[in-house]
Amino acid sequence: MGKRFQKFVALAAVFAMVTSLGACGKNAAENKEAAQPVQESKNIEFPLAQPETLSILTSAEATSTQNPEEKVIYQRIKKETNVNVDWTCYVKDQFVDKRNLVLAKGSNLPDIILNADMGTLDLLKYGSQGLIVPVEDLIDKYMPNLKKVLDDNPSYRKLITAPDGHIYSFPWIEQLGTGKEAIQAIGGMPFINKAWLDQLGLKMPTTTEEFVNVLTEFKNKIPNSIPMSFRINGGNEDLGFILGAFGYGDNPDHIMVDQNNKVLYSVADEGYKEGITWLHTLQEKGLIDPEAYTQDWATLVAKGKEDRYGVYFGWDNLGVPGTAASYVPMPALKGPNGEANAPRQSGTAEGGFQAGRAVITSDCKNLELAAKWIDLMYEPLQSIQNNWGTYSEDGKDNIFVLKDDGTLSHTPLDSLKVSPWEARCAQMVGGPLAVLNSYYGKYTTCPPDALERMDFVKSYVKDMKYDMVYPNVFMSQEDSETLAQCETGIKQYAEQKKAEWILNGGVEKEWDSYLQKLDQLGLKKYLEIKQKYLDAYLSK
């Protein structure tokens, strides 16, 4: 496994023995000198002979500790490197606002922003302002782990390279399957109560008509039942998947690509209107949870634990603890035209990917140290743990077991006291990393819940009508700003009307004025820009 891993295992064993005992910042940024990432090499090797300190701004999930020092993963990295970290951590829901305020000052910046959550517009803006440094030379000179990932997978280097030729960030990469069979190909999917189907002698629905009949049977014959629940516009808990029975369906960004490689806005399609009209009939029949338009995640889960759902939507059937045995994925339904479609998510052709997971700021005085510290996160075994969790931590549901051969084996899910997500949140640290398909069987096992979800996704492949999804592309700052300005108003208005129409009806009466309003908000320009970059992507 290599020299670094031998040291990693040895240090981990010692550790186990011991433990068992924003825009408002423009004016400040304009006066900032352009960052110059070229420094004389210090030939840094870990562990350092003398301790050094990096300052890092990061985020943490609300269900996890807000003190990174308490994370065993970071404690082990500190022992291995002799690098102390001066942490500033904010809860994830507040992080972007806090990050923007820090950058708005334009001075006294942390060395690194980890879990930076920066989109391409952020990277271009802060890069042009000189607040974050270009890192392509650092990657080639000081970061062998990341360089190998990019050399072996050149598409990722293209994805993180800005139009000006610079790389401003370090990515998060998670491969679990490929293409239409990738785990991220589909977002939220419908899960139906198979136990209720069996109890009532009902067949699995395959059409919208059969689906309504099944929900009606649930309502009439299962006491205290909620035939169908969701969280409107709630990411994976939204019901957009089911609209595939009427055409393109829906996904979180509402962007679809047809077989002629034309970019479309799913919620401005005639089929969408038909689907919303149909969903309103379900509302009128009392087949939809009255709280579906207002409930948060905790409320959805609480009712699910009471075994009240006939159908709910989610990433998998483990999100509602204790219900997995009863719920199975429901097929993509055939609509009135006899066709089904399983809508895919944008940006999933390369698997899980985010360009801006970490950046180095212009106030960092030791770029080599910062780069080499970040590069450790791309060592395969480190990436695996940062992404999911670790092993041999007292008092925790450990995600992994460290085997004698130095590989990491996933703990069986039925041995966890909490849901897999809760267990992972307690240990993982996220940040920049790369977990590649080639790692499974070599460094680790594939997560058991991921294997199951990939089987779910594979069952939908036959109904994925469209071959192309909108790719990850790096747009110019001007176009990125235009898109951001348009998207805010367009998305907010479209999602507001979606909820109103399912609940109260009126989509057919208001459809023409709705389309006019979308045009007024900039939909035509929005799609023109999207199309321009898709055409450029396909021409390469």
3-state SS class at 212? helix
Distance CA 200, CA 217 (A): 8
Q: If pLDDT is split at 50, 70 and 90, which confidence band does 28 have? A: very low
Buried b (16+ CB within 10 A) or exposed e, 134-143: bbbebbebbb
Residue given tokens 């929005």 in the structure block: 526
Buried b (16+ CB within 10 A) or exposed e, 404-421: eeebbebbeeeebeebbb
- What number of other Cβ atoms are within 10 A of residue 124's Cβ? 24
Give yes or no: residues 167 and 200 share one domain. Answer: no
Range of the domain at 138: 48-178+350-450
Q: If we measure between CA atoms, which residue out of 503, 496, 517 comes closest to residue 276?
A: 503
In a domain, 511, yes or no: yes
Distance CA 443, CA 184 (A): 22
In a domain, 24, yes or no: no
Q: If pLDDT is split at 50, 70 and 90, which confidence band does 26 have? A: very low
Amino acid in position 309: Y
Q: If pLDDT is split at 50, 70 and 90, which confidence band does 22 have? A: very low
The C-alpha angle 297, 445, 457, rounded to 5 degrees, equals: 50
What does the pLDDT average to over 333-341? Answer: 97
Give yes or no: residues 236 and 306 share one domain. Answer: yes
Three state DSSP letters for 7-47: HHHHHHHHHHHHHHCCHHHHHHHHCCCCCCCCCCCCCCCCC
Distance CA 296, CA 304 (A): 13
Rg (CA), the chain: 24
pLDDT value, residue 183: 96
Q: If we measure between CA atoms, which residue out of 518, 478, 460 comes closest to residue 249?
A: 460
Give yes or no: residues 172 and 215 share one domain. Answer: no
> Each residue of 99-127: pLDDT tens digit?
999 999 999 999 999 999 999 999 999 99
Q: Is 435 left (phi over 0), alpha (psi -120 to 50) or beta?
A: beta
Q: In what order do the strands lie in the sheet with 327-329?
A: 226-228, 309-314, 189-193, 327-329
Residue given tokens 């594939």 in the structure block: 446
In a domain, 456, yes or no: no
Give yes or no: residues 135 and 238 share one domain. Answer: no
Q: If pLDDT is split at 50, 70 and 90, which confidence band does 351 have? A: confident
The C-alpha angle 191, 64, 306, rounded to 5 degrees, equals: 35
Give yes or no: residues 116 and 235 share one domain. Answer: no
395: which 2 tokens? 């008092």
**pLDDT averaged over the chain?**
92
Give yes or no: residues 111 and 234 share one domain. Answer: no
In a domain, 528, yes or no: yes
| Count of domains for the chain | 2
What is the value of pTM for the model shown? 0.87
In a domain, 8, yes or no: no
> Each residue of 217-233: pLDDT tens digit?
999 999 999 999 999 99
Distance CA 62, CA 92 (A): 7
Q: If we measure between CA atoms, which residue out of 198, 207, 280 comes closest to residue 245?
A: 207
Give yes or no: residues 106 and 202 share one domain. Answer: no
Distance CA 131, CA 478 (A): 19
226: which 2 tokens? 């909620």
Give yes or no: residues 193 and 328 share one domain. Answer: yes
pLDDT exceeds 80 at position 25: no
Phi, psi of 478 (to 5 degrees): -60, -45
Distance CA 65, CA 74 (A): 13
In a domain, 266, yes or no: yes
In a domain, 464, yes or no: no
Please give the residue that has the higher pLDDT: either 324 or 183.
183
Residue given tokens 């004025």 in the structure block: 513
Q: What contacts 503, CB < 8 A, 6 or more positions away?
A: 280, 283, 293
pLDDT exceeds 50 at position 7: no
Given a contact cutoff of 8 angstroms between Cβ atoms, the answer to whether 340 and 165 are in contact is: no
pLDDT exceeds 50 at position 3: no
Given a contact cutoff of 8 angstroms between Cβ atoms, the answer to whether 466 and 257 are in contact is: yes
Given a contact cutoff of 8 angstroms between Cβ atoms, the answer to whether 33 and 130 are in contact is: yes
**How many percent of the chain have pLDDT more than 70?**
92
DSSP for 302-354 reads HHHHTT-EEEEEESSTTSSTT-TTTEEEPPPPB-TTS----PPPTT-TTSEEE
Distance CA 253, CA 230 (A): 18
Q: Which of 450, 484, 511 is the last residue of a domain?
A: 450
Torsion of CA 130, 132, 138, 142, to 10 degrees: 140
Give yes or no: residues 116 and 163 share one domain. Answer: yes
pLDDT exceeds 50 at position 27: no
CB-based burial label for 240 (10 Å; 0-12, 13-18, 19+): buried
CB-side exposure of 402: number of CA atoms within 13 Å? 18
CATH code for position 200? 3.40.190.10
Give yes or no: residues 338 and 486 share one domain. Answer: yes
In a domain, 467, yes or no: no
Distance CA 148, CA 146 (A): 5
> Each residue of 74-106: pLDDT tens digit?
999 999 999 999 999 999 999 999 999 999 999
Instruction: Return the beta strands (E) in 306-381 as ranges.
Output: 309-314, 327-329, 352-360
DSSP for 68-97 reads GGG-HHHHHHHHHH-EEEEEEEEEHHHHHH
Is the peptide bond between 290 and the residue preceding it cis, with omega within 30 degrees of 0?
no
Instruction: Show the DSSP H helices in 390-522 as ranges.
Output: 420-427, 448-460, 477-504, 507-520
Give yes or no: residues 494 and 437 share one domain. Answer: no
> Each residue of 361-405: pLDDT tens digit?
999 999 999 999 999 999 999 999 999 999 999 988 999 999 999
Distance CA 217, CA 285 (A): 12
pLDDT value, residue 465: 96
Give yes or no: residues 391 and 246 share one domain. Answer: no
